[in-house]
């Protein structure tokens, strides 16, 4: 049975990074900028997590615009993790974002995937997640 052609991917713009809340939570000095996701980054997620891509991609903007938690991504220098629990998704969603602005003045999403309640709770208890207060 044929699966049919995959939908054509296009670069996506997810709106402004909530820098004031992130800067306050993580003691950073990020400049204002838009958050984007390249076709290449989308292909990366599709390859690594094909089922999660289709289910989670529609909720990425929600996490970017109104994250509940952020943390420095200790395993990937230069990235932060933004975490939220979007309406319509039964689990938490992590969105990884590079904290350096590219030549076009944009912040780039490198990946996203769902998280279990247990993992979020453990990271919260360990003090890794910082609450984002949106201003």
pLDDT (tens digit, 9 = 90+) per residue, 45-80?
A: 999 999 899 999 999 999 999 999 999 987 778 899
In terms of Cα–Cα distance, which of 110, 101, 131 is closest to 22?
131
Pairwise CA distance, residues 22 & 18, whole Å: 6
Give the burial string for 51-66 (b: 16+ CB within 10 Å, else e). ebbebbbebbbbbbbe
**pLDDT category, 102, cuts 50, 70, 90?**
very high
Q: What is the band of 93 on the pLDDT scale with cuts at 50, 70, 90?
A: very high
Output the pLDDT for position 6.
Answer: 64
Tokens of 21: 């809340």
Q: What is the pLDDT of residues 11-45, one digit of tens each?
A: 999 999 999 999 999 999 999 999 999 999 999 99
| DSSP per-residue string spanning 9-77 | P--EEEEE--HHHHHHHHT--PPP-EEEE-HHHHHHHHHH-HHHHHHHGGGHHHHHHS-SEEEE-TTST
The verdict on pTM exceeding 0.75 is: yes
Asked if 110 and 41 count as a contact pair (C-beta separation under 8 A), the reply is yes
pLDDT at 1: 47
């Amino acid at each position: 049975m044929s699966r049919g052609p995959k939908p054509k991917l296009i670069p996506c713009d997810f709106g402004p990074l909530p820098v004031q809340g992130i800067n306050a939570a993580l003691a950073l000095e990020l400049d204002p900028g838009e958050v984007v996701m390249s076709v290449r980054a989308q292909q990366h997620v599709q390859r690594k997590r094909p089922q999660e891509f289709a289910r989670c991609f529609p909720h990425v903007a929600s996490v970017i615009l109104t994250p509940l938690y952020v943390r420095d991504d200790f395993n990937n220098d230069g990235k932060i993790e933004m975490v939220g629990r979007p309406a319509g998704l039964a689990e938490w969603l992590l969105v990884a974002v590079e904290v350096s602005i590219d030549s076009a003045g944009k912040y780039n999403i490198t990946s996203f995937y769902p998280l279990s309640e247990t993992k979020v709770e453990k990271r919260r208890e360990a003090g890794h997640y910082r609450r984002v207060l949106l201003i």
